[in-house]
Structure 1
């Protein structure tokens, strides 16, 4: 898969089929859209492409980082697995934000990127202040003889699949249900940093993980999880919260990795949350805390 960093004036070399959307989480609904993209590209003997903003559009509009389900790095890994050929990565700025729907579609997509076919979800909006909708896109595609494919909403067990719905599941601790809708485990990428070493002294060393993007914060508590280190997968009992028994300040992501004793400070790791085990508790003593940690570890071992 080729990742091409572009601006609004970039001119593509070849025609392609493109999928448009934010794709946060790359959930099962997104995957239906992307499968259609790959299939359409093969049918037309063209490359499949996706347009992705380097950062969430709201970061620029509201000057505040948005909570995400996936980093771009994770998105791109999934795109490559699905078989996407090209990711056009563009910075969302004033020039992009103020494009009219007509300019975005006709000048930028159809002319500059040489798009022959467009794949979007049923609720796709585009252009300045999201003033372009599906009906406007239909008119513009018909006018320019561009093929348009609109993917219908996807329901699973009566639930309409959306990134917002999945975010709410994660916030309420329902990561196992969220994972089913994502089609993969909710994953937090980050770097291992130094902590206070108390767990190490008590026989339960933890990897303190500093997330590399602003992820959706799961309900505080302990999670059965896997952690990927240098391509290898290890079981872990992970606490996400403020550690109220000891510190009760600032968010902590602390993974006790089973059957692992190597120093991994500074390493990039991927933490996959599998199941919520229990809420975060303020214990009366540190000894009570570590007795509970022993039970948590046993639950993870017995998975």
Structure 2
């Protein structure tokens, strides 16, 4: 029996979230023996080559001067610092924990859209935002035993990701998405080259580490392709909640690959974040928004890393 359009879209979203989470896993493995500058540079070279070929094939690199809108530049700025803060936190936090904190991104975008773009947000969604960030505080545990200062970097990454996604909303429609992705990839790669010395300089990389980073770059593009397929298949309001399956993948890989078993506060905090995110998405659908904030954030949730 053939799947409905919504079910195909949901399946594609689940596959995309798996690809993004496996990318994070490979990057975390590489971070055990390579510094942040090396990761940005090497993974960026692979990703830039792949996406530039795709953009050239689609004709997205023609008329570059017309595409250099201020919002494109702001997005590049936000993506660079989101990626730097994310990769700084990734080696020092369980994969499940950092993934759970990043699930608050749609809530942060909803809040930013209300504060800076003048979008209407009712008291119910403000309450959902408050509940979601209470979940974040439960995971981060500031001032309590088990607090990890690198959790604050994960929060910083959420802030820059929200700025990135809000800037993306303001990019004119004539600017091709593939151009934005290519420019982002090149900018982050150049950032890796610029920060190589401050982060400790070049260190010899084993074939395994290079393989991890090459695989991570492929998985990023693979994930984005499936997100595009998902959003073109069915209703956004039906498909968007399946982005939270990234947390299931993250918990599973955290246990299997790194031996990190989530504790009760992490599970409780993550549950609050996901529940508040789903409710916020539901409320946005009820009030009739055509493109809910919870569905229009970057599909990877975490920084593009490209």
The interval holding the TM-score normalised by the smaller chain is under 0.3
By percentage of residues, which structure has more helix? 2
By percentage of residues, which structure has more strand? 1
> Normalized against structure 2, the TM-score is what?
0.27
Query: Higher relative contact order at CA 8 Å, sep ≥6: structure 1 or structure 2?
Result: 2
Point out the structure with max Rg over C-alpha: 1
